Amino acid sequence: MLEKAGVPVLHELPGVGENLQDHLEVYFQYYCKQPVSLNSKLDLISKGLIGTRWILFKTGLGATNHFESCGFIRSRAGLKWPNIQYHFLPAAMRYDGKAAVKGHGFQVHVGPNKPESRGKLWIESSDPAAKPRILFNYITTEQDKQDWRDTIRLTREVLQQSALDEYRGEEIQPGMDIQSDEQIDQWVKKNVESAYHPSCTCKMGDDNDPMAVLNEQCQVRGLQNLRVVDSSVFPTITNGNLNAPTIMVAEKAADMILGKAPLPKLDAPVWIHPEYATKQR
């Protein structure tokens, strides 16, 4: 690829740019029967008051990004850890604030966190200002498709629990007419969007892995004094949002670069369903 782009290869590392992963999500929306959602706060006066309060006192609705509750579930037996992530938003609208529903609503942002599909990025020009090519290959394996079907069905089940009865109105989207595998596949294809977590294109790995770009010290294999320290180092995408793990990598790498001894290993207890191998819940 480099040679095709007019860049001489000085050190071959075939894993660079491969193994691209990302988190995808959809908005699963319901109308809200109670007048308590943020949908009523989108007019200029409300936004002005919220902004003023935040500027003056750093309090109120402007002091939060509103994704204050989240959750993780396992979609199938055999998984030790949850693979589906939820963020709850007390409003029904697009991520960028557009296309808010009329009336009150709420939604969860939801998607599987451990996709199997792998994409890649590469260059086609030696001009450093030229944009790279990026191919995500989203939802290209059968397991990824199944994970999305499970996500939609389980999310509907979660949101239809009786605890939400006094708030939950009609399902806005996907909509109760989206039921079969084919309908879900089509709906997801049309509505899914990136959660903006592209990562894993310079993965860390052991000596036997020809696609590993970095060793366990974040050093580029076969070169001296070159490290990569960012969200590209993960071999597989993290099982939650990316920012905190990336900061963790950076803190750890800073210690390595400074030659500091690693902190003692922490054995935090993690709950694992005792029958995870055979039960989904």
Ligand X SMILES: Cc1cc2nc3c(=O)[nH]c(=O)nc-3n(C[C@H](O)[C@H](O)[C@H](O)COP(=O)(O)OP(=O)(O)OC[C@H]3O[C@@H](n4cnc5c(N)ncnc54)[C@H](O)[C@@H]3O)c2cc1C
Give min distance, CB of 232 to ligand X, in A: 6
241 is a contact residue toward ligand X (CB under 6 A): yes
Name the residues annotated as catalytic.
197
242 is a contact residue toward ligand X (CB under 6 A): yes
Phi then psi for 62, rounded to 5 degrees? -80, -10
Nearest to 198 by CA among 87, 86, 117: 117
Q: Which is nearer to ligand X, 23 or 74 (CB)?
A: 23
21 is a contact residue toward ligand X (CB under 6 A): no
Give min distance, CB of 238 to ligand X, in A: 9
231 is a contact residue toward ligand X (CB under 6 A): yes
Q: Which is nearer to ligand X, 239 or 241 (CB)?
A: 241
State the number of binding residues for ligand X (CB under 6 A): 9
What mask, x for binding ligand X by CB under 6 A, covers residues 126 to 145? --------------------
Site for ligand X in 194-223 (CB under 6 A): 196-197
Q: Which is nearer to ligand X, 25 or 150 (CB)?
A: 25
Give min distance, CB of 137 to ligand X, in A: 19
Instruction: Locate 104 and state its tokens.
Output: 């009150």
116 is a contact residue toward ligand X (CB under 6 A): no
The partner residues of 70 in beta bridges, in order of sequence, read: 87
Q: Which is nearer to ligand X, 21 or 246 (CB)?
A: 246
Among the residue ranges 106-114, 174-182, 209-217, 239-247, the one whose residues contact ligand X (CB under 6 A)? 239-247
243 is a contact residue toward ligand X (CB under 6 A): yes
* Pairwise CA distance, residues 48 & 271, whole Å: 45
Q: Which is nearer to ligand X, 74 or 197 (CB)?
A: 197
Return the residue of 116, 171, 185, 230 that touches ligand X, per CB under 6 A.
Answer: 230
Q: Which is nearer to ligand X, 114 or 197 (CB)?
A: 197
Return the residue of 19, 107, 113, 246 that touches ligand X, per CB under 6 A.
Answer: 246
Instruction: Locate 254 and state its tokens.
Output: 């800073």
239 is a contact residue toward ligand X (CB under 6 A): no
* Site residues (vs ligand X, CB under 6 A): 196-197, 230-231, 241-244, 246
